[in-house]
Chains A and B, each alone.
Chain A
Amino acid sequence: MKKKLTVAISALGVGLISLPLLVAFEAHVINVTAQIANGILTVPTEITYGTVFPQEKIDKTFQILLSESFLEEPVGEQCASSVESFSQGVRKNGTPVLANRSNPTAALGSPQTSGTPFDNPGPPAGSFVSLGFTLPNNSPNGGTITLGFTNFVVDVAGPDFTVYEVTGGTVYPEERVRVEVSQDGITFETAVASGLRDVAVDISGTSFDWIKFVRITDVSNIVPFESEADAYDLDAVCGTSREHVGIVDYVIRQKPKCGLPVPETSPVEYSEFGQVTEDVDGNFVCVDDGFVQLPLLCPYLSKHEVENPEETPSDNDGPGINAFHGLPLPWTLATAESTDSLVYGVLDALLPDEDDTWVVDLRVPCFAGSCAQDWADFVRTESGNPDIDTELYTADPALEHEIFGCDLWVEVTDIE
């Protein structure tokens, strides 16, 4: 029994000793990764038109929106995490700012102050950075610092971030800063022209609905300060935090539709529908065995977004396309990815532009040999192309009474 216990304890010991080795093995030797594809989502949407007749026009709509789970991503809190640049001024008497008030990284992370105008007791030296004055009169600007955030600082109701300043005592000249904000660290807009001490900033007054950089510049009136004053003492900058800001770019592509034909049915009936994929040559093929592509409906579908007057801006989605496009056959991946046959759109949770409604119009083709006299005019008018080869868009008479199909794939191409 004692031996077995010894063996068990030994095994456990070896296991524990091996744990760090496994971690090292995992980190350096085994290089196998599995990750969800970067922001790519495809949504084939099925729209049924039923039985239709040549040159008939039928409108259907579908709606693409940001999901509830996406919109519910909580807004958290964060503090500035990087110093992008720092240009320190000097004290009023022209001497350098003390070393223990000159470390710009002291402005990173959580504040040591409470956000009240006067901090008693004040935080120790080294926990904040002084911006300094520019002599002789601090004009046009004093010292300046640019800080960056890891996540997005987003516009919410009320202040979006706070600049924390350190001032001890109960009476002191006004320490003021200009607060500018930026999305890229290059183009800045002024959010607060002259904020006193702890400054709560709302970015809704700028053209940005999110930012990642803040530039803080001393604009204090130097006159009332004592000679050893070193201008604005920056403790921290903290605000809202979202990992994603909610801008989703997408395209709508048209791909052939696959179905499982019921044997010996004419016209062909399908017991179920499946997905299409592309081979290495970019030709569409059905994923599942036994499935075949339905006669192609894609060239006869137009797509136009329904403009929403309450949407701001209303023109962030691409132009629509008219029916009668994409031919001659074959309809390949290149056709589906061509700008002649796809449309794109943008959803933005912050504008808000949380949904787009697209009208998908079917312009029913005629069958060769049975077209009305105004068929050519119909195609030219509906396509908006007076030079279109109208013969290309007449359907094969052998397909009369058959079920045509086309899958609309909404593919998310980017997310911010």
Chain B
Amino acid sequence: MKLSDKILAGVLIVIFLFIFYIALDANKYTAQVLAIEGAGKVGVNPTTERLDFGDLSPGTSAVRRVEIENGTAIPMYVAVVRFGSINDLMKLDKSFFVVPARTADEIEFTVYMPASAPIGEKLTGRVFIFKIPGPWSS
């Protein structure tokens, strides 16, 4: 094996491990909300196992927060990626940001149930929060 091949292999291994680690370390949440009929009705589910926005009648909204704490000496770049049918109704106050070393931050997820919401339908999705260490400046 040539020296260049060895270096290339080493670099690829490092990149693979880095990506593997980031994917493994990501927080993965299920998000859901149920559209209910009526006006001014909100059903709550404040349990912390998932981003459950409860039951919302048209015109109401729900907010859930995820707290991120960086207890390391390395700044973390946080990237929030989301999928699913709930995605169109869900707003984030920020999707890409840096959490400086030894600080905490918060992501706020808001779901607004529009008048055109399909009553009785449960909208679901997945939210991934990736944390990437690096020399980021906030």
Residues of A within 8 A of B (CB): 3, 6-7, 10-11, 14-15, 18, 22, 25-26, 29-47, 60-70, 73, 243-244, 248, 250, 275, 287, 347, 410, 412, 415
Contacts and interface: CB of A to CB of B under 8 A. Distances in A.
Question: What 3 pairs between A and B have smallest CB-CB spacing?
Answer: A62-B40, A31-B71, A67-B43
B55 to A, nearest CB: 4
Contact of A30 (B9, B41, B56, B72): B72
Contacts of A415: 46-47
Interface string B50-74: 1111111001111111111111100
B41 A65 contact: yes
A33 B61 contact: no
Contact of B76 (A32, A36, A42, A347): A32
Nearest to A33: B69
14 contacts: A7-B5, A31-B71, A32-B76, A33-B67, A33-B71, A35-B27, A35-B66, A36-B51, A40-B65, A41-B54, A42-B62, A66-B44, A67-B43, A70-B44
A26 B43 contact: no
A408 to B, nearest CB: 9
A339 to B, nearest CB: 22
Main secondary structure of the interface of A (DSSP, over half): mixed
Contacts of A40: 46, 64-65
Nearest to B58: A46
Contacts of B97: none
A410 B68 contact: no
A242 B113 CA distance: 30
Contact of A250 (B44, B48, B53): B44
B105 to A, nearest CB: 10
A94 B69 CA distance: 60
B130 to A, nearest CB: 10
Given A43-B60, A46-B60, A34 B67 contact: yes
Contact of A26 (B25, B49, B65): B25
Contacts of A33: 67-69, 71
B12 interface: yes
Nearest to A8: B9
B72 A68 contact: no
Contacts, number: 167
Contact of B41 (A25, A63, A73): A63
B83 interface: no
B118 interface: no
A320 to B, nearest CB: 17
Contact of A32 (B6, B9, B69): B69
A290 to B, nearest CB: 16
Given A45-B60, A67-B52, A62 B42 contact: yes
Nearest to B93: A287
Given A15-B16, A33-B71, A70-B52, 15 more contacts: A7-B5, A15-B20, A25-B21, A32-B70, A32-B71, A36-B50, A37-B64, A37-B67, A37-B106, A41-B64, A61-B40, A62-B40, A67-B55, A70-B45, A70-B46
Contact of A29 (B16, B29, B72, B131): B72
A62 B41 contact: yes
B42 to A, nearest CB: 5
Interface in B103-138: 106, 110, 129, 131, 133
B9 A7 contact: yes
Contacts of B67: 33-37
Contacts of B72: 29-32
Nearest to A14: B13
B3 interface: no
Nearest to B2: A3
B1 A65 contact: no
A61 B38 CA distance: 11
Nearest to A37: B65
A68 B43 contact: yes
B44 A32 contact: no
A65 B55 contact: yes
A3 B71 contact: no
Nearest to B9: A7
Given A15-B20, A40-B46, A69 B5 contact: no
A66 B63 contact: no
A29 B72 CA distance: 7
Interface in B4-26: 5-6, 9, 12-13, 16-17, 20-21, 24-25
Contacts of B60: 43-46
